[in-house]
Amino acid sequence: MDDIHFAVLGTGGIGRRTLEVSQHKDGLTAVAACDRNGVALDHDGLDVDELLAATEGNIASGPAEHASDSTPAAPTDDYASDGGAAAVEGGGVKQHGDQSGIVASEQGEPTETPIDDIIAESDAIDAVLLALPNLEHDFIPRVAERFAEADYEGVMIDVLKRSRVIGMLDDREDLLKASGITFVCGAGATPGFLTGAAALAAQSFVEVEEVEIWWGVGLKSGYEDNRGTVREDIAHLDGYDIETAREMSEAEIEALIDEHDGVLEFHDMEHADDVLLERAGICDAEDVHVGGVLDVRSDEKPTTTTVSVTGTTFDGETGTNTFELDDVTSMEANVNGPALGYLKAGVRNNRAGHYGVFGPADLMPGF
């Protein structure tokens, strides 16, 4: 496969780790990255080390995993119409003044329209990873729309989690197809890696009865980078929802975490694995259960990440196939490796002229 030139929108934890992991992979060249108030562009390849060093612990934007920081979200319509400035806006957790984020890199240029700047160069970009905060459910779909309106031909990929966003992407499928976009949605760890594992594990069966996705994350050293994800997860606890979680102050979140001694356990989360497996024909969304345990005070995983697929074989046996990730594999390894893996699969499809909206399971053997 020819070298893939890709861009990363958002340089929070997921964006930065994706850039880092891409350096270990063959055939991937990072050519663009942006955050709230800066863009770095070099079609011969960014100096990723320099960019990471300059932005580490110095985030201008509220990236994907800072989905809901303490700064109230701007109204959704603004995201799609402001040329990108609000698009990569987020909390104030790590801002360091005018020189924060990408502009602190010698490759960074200040801009008020970071996403538009990348769209302007997108003819030479094969794939775009959306590591943006999906503050409102339709934010990522709207960014895709903007690329489509600019006739972008290539791959777009996100690591979103919420089931309802998939339908919003599907609603825009005609527009994406007309432009020549192969959109791979939900392509991080879960949904993503584990959704694919479930789709594969289902291959023994002719009928899938249940998919259980159970994750463990130890997030001590990664906590600062992932406050937004923690906040999103809190929405899944009993007595909380997206709105209440969004409105909590940092202090309230800390108090809640203290109450649980740093360990939060989640059941029946709204994770897009369900609709992604249903759209691939593997099982009904309601038969998919996602839960897990998060420990923000340890880097050890509190439980082993496991996918269990229970089904019936053509010869009438009922059994459970399992996929287990080693406890030493970090959340970052399991998000960013698969994100780039699906990105490559997306490019394969895109180059063959296969456009539209794909979930991870759609890129697996059929069911």
Q: Can you say which residues are annotated as belonging to the binding site for NAD(+)?
A: 10-14, 228-229
Q: Which of 54, 345, 357, 361 binds its own copies (CB under 8 A)?
A: 345
Q: Does 125 bind its own copies (CB under 8 A)?
A: no
Question: Residue 276 and residue 177: Cα distance in Å, rounded?
Answer: 19
Q: Which of 45, 206, 254, 284 binds its own copies (CB under 8 A)?
A: 206
Considering only residues 278-337, where is the footprint of its own copies by CB under 8 A? 281, 313-315, 317-330, 332-334, 336-337
- x/- mask, its own copies, residues 242-281, rule CB under 8 A, reads ---------------------------------------x
Beta carbons of 190 and 229 less than 8 angstroms apart: no
CB of 7 to its own copies, least distance (A): 17
Q: Does 354 bind its own copies (CB under 8 A)?
A: yes
Burial of 49 (0-12, 13-18, 19+ CB in 10 A): exposed
Question: Residue 69 and residue 62: Cα distance in Å, rounded?
Answer: 7
Q: Which of 102-110, 210-218, 267-275, 350-358 is the region at the interface with its own copies (rule: CB under 8 A)?
A: 350-358
Question: Residue 16 and residue 11: Cα distance in Å, rounded?
Answer: 5
Q: Which of 135, 168, 197, 361 binds its own copies (CB under 8 A)?
A: 197
Q: Does 6 bind its own copies (CB under 8 A)?
A: no
Q: Which of 51, 349, 357, 359 binds its own copies (CB under 8 A)?
A: 349
CB of 36 to its own copies, least distance (A): 26
Complex with its own copies: residue 81 or 318, whichever CB lies closer: 318
CB of 83 to its own copies, least distance (A): 32
CB of 255 to its own copies, least distance (A): 31
Catalytic residues: 161, 232, 236
- x/- mask, its own copies, residues 8-47, rule CB under 8 A, reads ---------x--xx--xxx---------------------
Which residues form the interface with its own copies (CB under 8 A)?
A: 1, 17, 20-21, 24-26, 193, 196-197, 200-201, 203-207, 281, 313-315, 317-330, 332-334, 336-338, 340-345, 347-349, 352-354, 360, 363-367
